[in-house]
Amino acid sequence: MTTFAGAPVTLEGVQLKPGAIMPDFTVTDVNLAQIEPMKSDGTKIILSVPSADTPVCSRELATFMHALEGTDVQLISVSMDLPFALKRWMDMEQNDNLTATSDFKDHSFAKATGVRMAENGLLARAVFVVNPAGEILYDEYVDEVTQEPDYSKALKAAGITQ
């Protein structure tokens, strides 16, 4: 069961499992371009976050960005934040090692991964590690959305040692 600030929430769709292929999805980047992250090469850590502009989400993004410095692992965040808010946050935080995206337009990512919270329309906190072939190596749907994920397990699945 997933909770948000202690209250149970309903995640819409089917949750993904390791071994499955990450479905294609289309999201909007900070420049309003439609991108398809699964069509790019390489290992990816994909973060589903409620809003980049909150303390827990900012801490999560910074932790992963710092851990991935100097690696070839792509870090992609997806939220329902508008691209304008994401751009402001990216500029303020000087986050060059992150592709921040929004699922506001057609909820493609939410539908593909089962992370949309029916009660508030936000995305639940989740982490997916995907290899170059598109196979999910690791997933975590965080039980309490206001808490951080298990960084060490996700990074280990991506081949990053701390």
In a domain, 1, yes or no: no
CATH of the domain at 25: 3.40.30.10
Query: Which pLDDT belongs to residue 162?
Result: 64
In a domain, 51, yes or no: yes
Q: How far apart are CA 57 and CA 90, in angstroms?
A: 13
Report the candidate in 4, 54, 16 with the shortest Cα–Cα distance to residue 134: 16
Q: Residue holding tokens 């951080």?
A: 148
Tens digits of residue pLDDT in 41-56: 999 999 999 999 899 9
Q: Can you tell me the mean pLDDT for 3-24?
A: 96
Report the candidate in 114, 123, 151 with the shortest Cα–Cα distance to residue 20: 114
The one-letter amino acid at 13: G
Report the candidate in 122, 149, 123 with the shortest Cα–Cα distance to residue 138: 149
Strand partners for 124: none
| Cα dihedral 80/57/7/122 (nearest 10) | 0
Q: Sign of dihedral through CA atoms 136, 142, 147, 150? A: negative
Strand partners for 101: 29, 78
95 classed as catalytic? no
In a domain, 25, yes or no: yes
Q: Identify the domain containing residue 43 by its residue range.
A: 10-156
Band (pLDDT 50/70/90 cuts) for residue 93 is confident
Quote the number of domains for the chain: 1
In a domain, 161, yes or no: no
Q: Cβ atoms within 10 A of the Cβ of 73, count?
A: 19
Stated pTM of the model: 0.95
Alpha helices in the chain (DSSP H): 55-67, 83-93, 108-113, 151-157
Give the largest Cα separation in the chain, rounded.
39
In a domain, 2, yes or no: no
Q: Residue holding tokens 């592709």?
A: 99
In a domain, 48, yes or no: yes
Exactly one of 30, 45, 47, 57 is catalytic; which is it? 57
Q: Can you tell me the mean pLDDT for 124-153?
A: 97
In a domain, 119, yes or no: yes
Q: Can you tell me the mean pLDDT for 32-45?
A: 95
